Structure 1
Amino acid sequence: MMELKRIAGVGMLMGMVWLGTGTSVRSQEVSIEAATMEEELLQVEALADSTVPERVVRERLAKLQNEIPLRYHKVTHQFVEYFIYKKPDFVRRMLEQMNLFFPLYEQTLEKYGMPRELKFLSLIESGLNPRIISYAGAGGLWQFMPATGREYGMHQDDYIDERFDPVKSTDAACRYLKRLYNAFGDWEMALAAYNVGPGNVKRAMRRSGSSTFWGIYNFLPKQTRHYVPQFVAITYMMHYHADHGIFPETPEFPTVSDTVHISGYFNLHTFAKLGGITLEELYKLNPKLVNTELPVHTKNCVVRLPLHCFHYLAENRQMIWDSASKSSVTPVPALASTAGELSGSEEGTAETDEGTDLKKVYHTVRSGETLAKIAKRYRVSAVELKKWNSLHSNSIQRGKRLVVYRESPAPDRLAAAPAKTKANAKIKIRYHRVQSGDTLSTIAERYGIDVSRLKKINRLRGNMVRKGQKLLVG
């Protein structure tokens, strides 16, 4: 079986990547202002002078003991103080957001006969953000790698990634953890395997001659050594946070919602605009949606909507559905049907119903070029380029020959079109208002520009953007 993930850091605190809204899951940007992973680990190890008595931590861990061992260890104590003094905001945020997911976790853990305290593992994995992705590509609340996500039945493409679906990913995480526990017969070993993969744990067992976590501790990668102590420490903090002066300020609760079923092309941006909700609301209720639209081949996709907008949607259903279902681009299947006819030439045209021609050209990838650069050059989207060339990721090799379909006016309409002069030409300036979850790279890909250019034209020095910020994008 494939290993769940390769180490990209010890969970949420060691560095993660946030998934931007309305774009492909491959678009990633670092969004934590914390130090690098190694610096974080050094900070933990530097907490040599304990201010919380060892006796107190030992006694409290003993009281919390249930099915999973919560052993006292020097590293665990260091992480307790790390959460108290260096990451109190993280603990506070977990306290505020736990009601969004803990009922689901507890229900699913009970379904599989699993220890309830495993719910705290998600805090370390994702910081309770269902749309987060790691440097290694692991995504969602439980941080599944793409291959393992597919193995556990989670569909992934440029429009939907079910690793980000709380229900499906939690069910898969419980099944995977149970499988690991059955393989090792020990919860500490199962947790280590969840982080670094069962193969690496078995190698550490062979090298150490031990079958316990603390027996193989020195034979594990440094990040995994900290993984179990970090889980124990966050479990401690979620129970004893008040004793250290950390309290939730604005607790969040699930939005009352209902569902609709969507088939065929559907523009989520149009739907949200006309339906009286924001894209942010839509993505928050449906984290599995990773684009601003659903494709023509969509079948019975369940989308959750806030209950407060249902009355308005019911009254205006026909208008909203008709508008959101109209595609402004020619469906890819139609282009694919003409590809065979044009394959013998460097250029070709395929007439559309709108009276325009779709010109087929070829582009050979040069050194340093990206999909975003090529898309911008031909005034198409990166998503379209990937579809036309059956690409499954954003990485392309130098020398690869890409098919590009460009829309141009049909000859009769071209002749009738008035020529633009300097007097009547207008430069269209576009802006983007940063939404929750947006990153520089997701914004750049959406508008077909480079991150470096986006930073330059907006005079940005770092990679951070804030919600509500207005960016020039073209």
Structure 2
Amino acid sequence: YLKDLFDIFGRWDLAIAAYNAGEGKVYSKLVKTNGEKFWDIRRQLKRETRNYVPSFLALIMFINDNKDLVDSVLDVPEFTYDSVLVPSQANIKQLASWAGISESEFRFYNPSFHRFATPPYLRNYYVRIPVGKAEEFIARMNSTPKEEWFKAEAHVVRRGETLSQIARKYGVSVTALIQSNNNINPRRLRPGMVLVIPYGPSASVKSFSYSTRVKKRSSIDDAKVVSTNDPKGIIKYRVRRGDTLYSISKRYGISINQLKEWNNLNSNNIRSGQTLIIYTN
């Protein structure tokens, strides 16, 4: 996950900050301050994140300067696992089932897995599973229809509703509901918020794709891709209202820095109607 964040921001200080505060929060502060690095937005972040990045960097320096001491303290059995490529978005429940392990054991092997499914903006995502289960995992994955890989439902919060009430309504746990919505704080639940309900047991629950939810909130999927006689591998993307460099970079699996470099952008600000060049492979 930390490496994914580095691919998005192109800097380790921003990746570390996003690991703690969330990529959306970091990107919004970059836009607000027209900043380029963590130290440009540090005062805009919460105290925890302001202190997290320097502490993280200090720990790295300490480890590099005291390798013998650290090695003696961390003299524990080597943690081994198999790494398997998942080519499309899938629920954690499905991933655990393919590996033949429980969801809690799957989270043990994948501690950075905070949501209920693999990220929608990463087509190729590697997961860790116990040694010796890779072939079984791949066989089960390939035999499962793609439409069953990812299932969820959207719920619009009504006035007076609580997470407990919503969880009971769909037959899921409050913990699963919190994890499915980026560790949402129950006290910050507001009318009109859209929550993702993971793998409800009801047969009437409709399959709900993440792209549909994003479409309703940011109109990213409504954006027009201008097609001309450009060489293969080049896309001209016309910016729509609500687009940001962050949302576009996630949509195409590229970094913000790449977008800025390809389009000679000196800041994170873009305007509706603007055309951006995107190189694909």
- Give the structure-1-normalised TM-score: 0.26
Task: Mark the structure with the bigger radius of gyration.
Answer: 1
- Give the structure-2-normalised TM-score: 0.38
